[in-house]
């Protein structure tokens, strides 16, 4: 690819997120095209590739990465397949946008960090897309500006209409609360030092075997306390809200007041029904930022370190859930590449 040429992206995994990224890169993103799609199901890969000009289907990620027209990789396969795909991308020294999780556990995330350090330069952006949501970005700018003083608490609400079949208690932490782990670290610029999980009675709306909702508490190395209501079968829609309580004021996002109607003696708005709808803009901006940075020869956004730190906090979170007590986060030292 020339410096100003179109970036040829291989999309690894064509499930819900992967297929949505293929559509996004083809129809929304500028400066990039989908050069390859990879899926273990050859028919699915072929079907998706047929819909995109000049796109080749593969079943093996390494084969796609070796292709001449592939300049960068978007990993959207299931979490357990990420480590192998990341290491293959490093072997070809290709830039990567990796959907969360970086890998499913802290030990494998550390191996990825070590491999990236052996390369000697950052290659990975992790798909913590909330950082690209305009409301979160405004909250971050406000906190960084310091006019409200230091942040003391962060109240978060993470509500989904319903969980998909097979959703487990560990997934409440690893799939859902992981987003608040990342935004807490990012918004506050602090590391999470411990996790506690408290559970009210189960909602009648929770499927068998799932303890939903839960209240998750983080403490940070900057002395902040953060709570997360994670409520994944609330029935009424998808809501993600955050309120920062600072020394001289508070700031809240996620109320969804983009449009309020008044009619027939009532006022109100609508609630998004899923994360693809609520965060569509954030996904678009995330991929565009990755493509733009890659074409400039830069790596920006959440790093492999952020992916590892989230994995370490998730491990504490799952233990806090099962052991019913406050668990300290076991975090390795931050290597110079990520400072």
- Give the residues lining the site for ligand ISE (CB under 6 A): 160, 175-176, 179, 232, 275
Instruction: Quote the tokens at residue 235.
Output: 């029935």
Three-state SS at 47: helix
Q: How far is the CB of 275 from ligand ISE (least distance, A)?
A: 4
CA distance linking residue 326 with residue 86, whole number of Å? 33
CA distance linking residue 278 with residue 76, whole number of Å? 19
Q: How far is the CB of 225 from ligand ISE (least distance, A)?
A: 22
Q: Are 31 and 6 in contact (CB under 8 A)?
A: yes
Q: Are 130 and 182 in contact (CB under 8 A)?
A: yes
User: By C-beta, is 122 or 179 nearer to ligand ISE?
Assistant: 179
Q: How far is the CB of 98 from ligand ISE (least distance, A)?
A: 14
- Strand 192-198 relative to strand 214-220, pairing: antiparallel
DSSP string over 244-291: EEETTEEEEE----S--EEETTEEE-----SHHHHTHHHHHHHHHHHH
User: By C-beta, is 15 or 31 nearer to ligand ISE?
Assistant: 15
Q: How far is the CB of 172 from ligand ISE (least distance, A)?
A: 8
User: By C-beta, is 131 or 179 nearer to ligand ISE?
Assistant: 179
User: By C-beta, is 58 or 275 nearer to ligand ISE?
Assistant: 275
User: By C-beta, is 164 or 222 nearer to ligand ISE?
Assistant: 164
Q: Are 212 and 197 in contact (CB under 8 A)?
A: no
User: By C-beta, is 62 or 162 nearer to ligand ISE?
Assistant: 162
User: By C-beta, is 1 or 272 nearer to ligand ISE?
Assistant: 272
Q: Which residues pair with 197 in a beta bridge?
A: 216
Q: How far is the CB of 64 from ligand ISE (least distance, A)?
A: 24
CA distance linking residue 199 with residue 191, whole number of Å? 24
Q: How far is the CB of 218 from ligand ISE (least distance, A)?
A: 17
Q: How far is the CB of 111 from ligand ISE (least distance, A)?
A: 23
User: By C-beta, is 123 or 179 nearer to ligand ISE?
Assistant: 179
Instruction: Quote the tokens at residue 124.
Output: 């990975």
The CA distances from residue 197 to 138, 185, 220, in Å, are 29, 18, 15
Give the nearest residue (CB) to ligand ISE: 176
DSSP 293: H
Phi, psi (5° rounding) for residue 216? -110, 130
Q: How far is the CB of 209 from ligand ISE (least distance, A)?
A: 16
Q: Are 79 and 310 in contact (CB under 8 A)?
A: no
């Amino acid at each position: 690819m020339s410096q100003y040429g179109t970036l040829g992206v291989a999309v690894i995994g064509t499930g819900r997120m992967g297929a949505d990224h293929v559509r996004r890169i083809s129809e929304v993103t500028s400066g990039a095209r989908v050069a390859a799609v990879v899926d273990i199901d050859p028919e699915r890969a072929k079907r998706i590739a047929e819909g995109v000009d000049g796109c080749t289907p593969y079943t093996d990620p390494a084969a796609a990465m070796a292709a001449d027209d592939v300049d960068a990789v978007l990993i959207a396969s299931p979490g357990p397949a990420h480590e192998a795909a990341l290491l293959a991308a490093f072997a070809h020294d290709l830039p990567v946008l990796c959907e969360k999780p970086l890998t499913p556990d802290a030990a494998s995330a550390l191996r990825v960090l070590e491999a990236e350090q052996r390369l000697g330069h950052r290659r990975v952006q992790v798909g913590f897309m909330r950082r690209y949501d305009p409301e979160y970005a405004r909250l971050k700018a406000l906190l960084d500006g310091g006019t409200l003083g230091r942040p003391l608490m962060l109240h978060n609400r993470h509500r989904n209409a319903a969980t998909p079949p097979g959703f487990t208690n560990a997934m409440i932490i690893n799939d859902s609360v992981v987003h608040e782990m990342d935004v807490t670290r990012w918004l506050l610029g602090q590391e999470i030092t411990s996790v506690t999980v408290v559970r009210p009675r189960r909602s009648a709306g929770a499927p068998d075997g799932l303890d939903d909702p839960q209240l998750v508490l983080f403490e940070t190395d900057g002395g902040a306390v953060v709570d997360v209501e994670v409520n994944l079968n609330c029935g009424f829609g998808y809501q993600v809200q955050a309120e920062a309580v600072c020394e001289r004021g508070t700031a809240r996002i996620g109320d969804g007041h983009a449009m309020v109607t008044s009619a027939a003696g009532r006022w109100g708005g609508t609630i998004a029904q899923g994360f693809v709808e609520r965060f569509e803009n954030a996904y678009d901006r995330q991929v565009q930022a990755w493509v733009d940075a890659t074409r400039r020869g830069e790596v920006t956004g959440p790093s492999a370190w952020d992916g590892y730190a989230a994995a370490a906090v998730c491990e504490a979170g799952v233990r806090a859930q099962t052991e019913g007590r406050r668990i300290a986060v076991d975090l390795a030292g931050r290597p110079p590449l990520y400072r």
